[in-house]
Amino acid sequence: MKNKIEKVMVTGGLGFIGSHFVELLIAHGYQVMTFDNISYAADQSFLRSIEKSKLHNFVRGDVRDEIKIKQALEEFRPNYVVNFAAESHVDNSLREPKLFCDVNFMGAATLLDEIRKITPKVGSTNFVKFVQIGTDEVYGSRKVTEVADPQTLLSPSNVYSASKAAADLLALSYFKTYEIPIVVTRACNNYGPRQHTEKFIPTILKAIKNNKTIPLYGSGDQMRQWIHVLDHAAAIFEIMLHGAPGTIFNVGDENYISNLELAKKICGLYDAIYNNPLGTSENLIRHVDDRLGHDFGYSISSDDTRSQLSWSPKISFEKGLSNLVATTFVTRST
């Protein structure tokens, strides 16, 4: 039991992954400030379960707003800042590349520099530990056998991943230059409750629910690695507390599957749950023109994270995906 309640500022805490992390912090007794600009991908209802908690407060603001960030840091005085705030939909980055550079890089830059300004002299125990939430996409397109570890050369393929890679490197430079305790995380594809419908799995679920076409880029042979959002949140919690400053932590599970096979699996789960003839939902799948610069695959090793921290994934892909499909359609009329 902690003698003093520690404080965590979570930027982007109304998003898919961030909201699950905020709930986890509250469950562990931390004082939390959720800082979010409530963009289209955020939802205040995600934190309805803790809206009456005295441990939580919400501040609306943009991570690029120096004045608002400065005010939040000075008034809240967090022990940790965990940065989830980002534009993350690759399709959108193809249309608005400058926005992604601005939010993902300059947002991180604003946070880091305001933290630098309130950082005490080296040797003090009052540092703010900063966690930069990244993505496996910074390593570029890889085969399943071409596993990336934290020392792997970065090779981003699109503006989204390039902007995230730049933010990672900037954060690590603040550790080296100013000795601010900073850690970087890079996770594989997440799935689970609350994910925005622009993402792959929710797109499939929405199409099935509305009996609409399921769009599949190109051949659908692209390989992805998946982790449940609750397992990811648990990893970030351990990294925040125990991750050595200046370290990069990959966060992944060993769930490799092609986009086509995943779409078929989800369709099969739905048909089984609702006693549809086998293949009914699968007939909704349609191949469409591939996305510009579409990475064939991602593959990361989280061995270092598992060996250095007391963390490993707990939710099997089969169980997690089955529960997601079942709960998505709980309001389905019979």
Return the active site residues.
136-137, 160
Q: Count the Cβ atoms, other than its own, within 10 Å of residue 165.
A: 22
Place of tokens 């089984």: 272
Q: Answer yes or no: are the C-beta atoms of 265 and 214 closer than 8 Å.
A: no
The contacts of residue 144 (CB under 8 Å, 6+ apart) are 223, 256, 297, 299
Taking alpha carbons only, the member of 65, 66, 58 closest to residue 9 is 58
Query: CA distances (Å), 150 to each of 96, 251, 305, 324, in order?
Result: 29, 10, 10, 30
Question: Coil, strand, or helix at residue 50?
Answer: helix
Taking alpha carbons only, the member of 43, 33, 26, 35 closest to residue 8 is 33
Place of tokens 């933290």: 115
Question: Rounded CA gap, 58 and 19, in Å?
Answer: 12
